[in-house]
């Protein structure tokens, strides 16, 4: 399991990397906010440990940008800024936990374990992919942190995409998955509803793979249109 440590002080980063590695975690290090934004979006990271004092960007700016882009990697802020205002703002921006420096390494480990422990959101009732959160039970959908209102058919089609992230789905498969319908080469039902989803999620949300079908983008850059809510 890979952790991303975002820390500009090499001594602290080395301490964290050594301790976390000894406890079985793979560790990647970013020393700037720009690196954190890139690695947080593209690397296979289970948790980010984020310092707030970075040489180029404030850590809270990094956190806000990640959440705006739909990157929902868990974030544990580890910072010498321990005042209540910073803690509240960090949590409001989407941080999952906040630990002040100086800290006990055993407490950091416990908080990491707690953040990585499967919870209700990992259950079958919730699907997550590409910045999209889809609750099967409540039929709530959010994309890049914004609520999106979908019709029943739109919801069923999006559920098919989110259930199979990164996979190219043919029109035949989508008809069967979304609406339990047999394929009819004369129907353009899938194409029509893909168009509806694009208008609500953003034109780039669903990729057309010529001659094969469609694929949900999962690079964390889905931005719902302003009229989606």
pLDDT band at 151 (very low <50, low <70, confident <90, very high): very high
User: Would you tell me how many other CB atoms lie within 10 Å of the CB of residue 209?
Assistant: 11
- Could you give the 3-state DSSP secondary structure of residue 121? helix
Helix (H) or strand (E) holding 146: strand 146-147
- Summarised one tens digit per residue, pLDDT across range 178-215 is 887 776 777 899 999 999 999 999 888 899 998 889 98
pLDDT band at 228 (very low <50, low <70, confident <90, very high): very low
CA distance 95 to 85: 14
CA distance 70 to 81: 26
pLDDT band at 221 (very low <50, low <70, confident <90, very high): very low
What's the confidence (pLDDT) of residue 223? 52
Question: In 27-140, which ranges are continuous DSSP H helix?
Answer: 33-42, 59-68, 84-92, 105-116
Q: In Å, how far from its chain's centre is CA 32?
A: 20
Structural domains present in the chain:
2-117 (3.40.50.2300), 126-228 (1.10.10.10)
Nearest alpha carbon to residue 129 among 144, 119, 114? 144
Residue 141 φ then ψ, to 5°: -130, 130
- Summarised one tens digit per residue, pLDDT across range 20-43 is 999 999 999 999 999 999 988 777
Question: In 135-188, which ranges are continuous DSSP H helix?
Answer: 152-163, 171-179
Sign of CA dihedral 145, 151, 154, 157: positive
pLDDT band at 119 (very low <50, low <70, confident <90, very high): very low
- Rg, C-alpha atoms of the chain: 20
- Summarised one tens digit per residue, pLDDT across range 70-117 is 777 889 999 999 888 888 888 888 888 899 999 999 999 998 988 776
């Amino acid at each position: 399991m890979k952790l991303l440590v975002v820390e500009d002080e090499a001594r602290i980063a080395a301490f964290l990397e050594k301790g976390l590695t000894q406890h079985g975690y793979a560790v990647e290090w970013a020393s700037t906010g720009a690196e954190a934004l890139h690695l947080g979006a593209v690397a296979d990271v289970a948790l980010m440990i984020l310092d707030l004092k970075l040489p180029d960007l404030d850590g809270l700016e990094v956190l806000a940008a990640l959440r705006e882009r739909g990157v929902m990697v868990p974030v544990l802020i580890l910072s010498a800024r321990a005042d209540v205002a910073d803690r509240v703002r960090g949590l409001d921006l989407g941080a999952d936990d906040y630990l002040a420096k100086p800290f006990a390494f055993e407490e950091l480990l416990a908080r990491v374990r707690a953040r990585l422990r499967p919870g209700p959101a990992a259950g079958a009732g919730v699907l997550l992919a590409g910045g999209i959160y889809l609750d099967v039970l409540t039929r709530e959908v959010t994309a890049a942190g914004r609520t999106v209102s979908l019709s029943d058919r739109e919801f069923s089609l999006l559920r098919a995409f989110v259930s199979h992230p990164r996979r190219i789905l043919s029109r035949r498969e989508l008809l069967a998955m979304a609406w339990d319908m047999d394929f009819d080469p004369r129907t353009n039902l899938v194409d029509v509803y893909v168009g509806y989803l694009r208008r609500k999620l953003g034109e780039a949300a669903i990729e057309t793979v010529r001659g094969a079908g469609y694929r949900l983008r999962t690079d964390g850059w889905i931005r719902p249109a302003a009229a989606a809510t």
